[in-house]
Structure 1
């Protein structure tokens, strides 16, 4: 595990974008395919702008880039929200990243993949057929979740079984609804859908490289618990990253204090 302490949000964004750019551009310049797992939310906004600017400035051909988003909100257990829904992750990615690629970069809409509530297993099949993820970008929920893989008591599921969970549709917990109301819905809980299709722990943890970013004061508690306990548990989903051979955490020192546990 590598831990980087960034001074602030901007420094975190620059450092995270650099890791992604170096990994992706190295493969793409050699004519190889690159599978990039993407996350959404306020944490990633500046990173995506920096990343797009670097791809554009260096004239990187993105025709062999495939992106795989962690989640998509669902109107119910079988239907994704429309692309024009204010919280649609497809809409977010289009606005924050995809539309920022210059046309000459050759990135097409069909290269972007999202879990489909109508057939969540399709996401895992297509990802496996593409060779799995090369790098997964992640945030961490205030309760320690990654994607919408929420904490579960060890009395309800084994450590091993939780780590093998597939992509699936889930009802959102009230805690996550409240968090997303605060962070992404401007305080309007009616905007937050009650279901989501989320990438499972198995495909996330199978990524060759993991990059976790944290910039909210509320993320200090789950990060502290994760680093102090040093063991994977379904009660703190992000803790599974501790066992990954290439895991990098970047956090902002102006909001999060981890000096006592690193």
Structure 2
């Protein structure tokens, strides 16, 4: 290691152990201690690479005293490596508090890059990659999830989410309702592992694939959604009277309810009015 007295942010494999970089192995061997999200899980990784550096548990629920102990070790001259269960630390994983406090104390923070499920999925998805937004995990509760999704419906960037198997169908259904059933997406599952799979199509099509094959409901999942692209004439295609109704309703009601009521009053379709409302708000 070229840096002393440093906090190393070390990426570990997301599945295939062959993705562990040589530099990451060297750093984990030479630091004084490794702060890990799950010491039992990380112990197996270290054993595979014959690394004997001591492990210390560190996760989002770690108290301030534990964080301070790590900082004290760094300030006193020790080198500390931070790892998560898989992939790059801090990307929907613990570590933000420790990194922020280390930088505030003037401690060197050195990234050791490697695997990341976000980038791994994006580079093979076939969706636009020049601009993208990583949204992490959606809230479990319906109302909170809807609040997160609605502002994203008209976002032109590729949207990337993490999701667990037991919530994937519910989340995709919520996205379909908000983004439109015909919006294209890619579901990347079990990345770098034996059963790595990419499912692509509209929300209707991908949901049907999941319904038809229970095996597709297993493993770690990344959802990538095509960014919104509205025809230039879409706003003009909404009847002026429907636009007037929408503006009145939008001033008093959430967009989803406004579109539903305006569709009953006018001859326009609810989804079309919803998309128009998103453009109007933006």
- Highest RCO, 1 vs 2 (Cα 8 Å, sep ≥ 6): 1
Work out whether the TM-score is over 0.5: no
**TM-score normalised by length of structure 1:** 0.33
Q: Which has the larger radius of gyration?
A: 2
**TM-score normalised by length of structure 2:** 0.31
Name the one with the larger helix percent.
Answer: 2
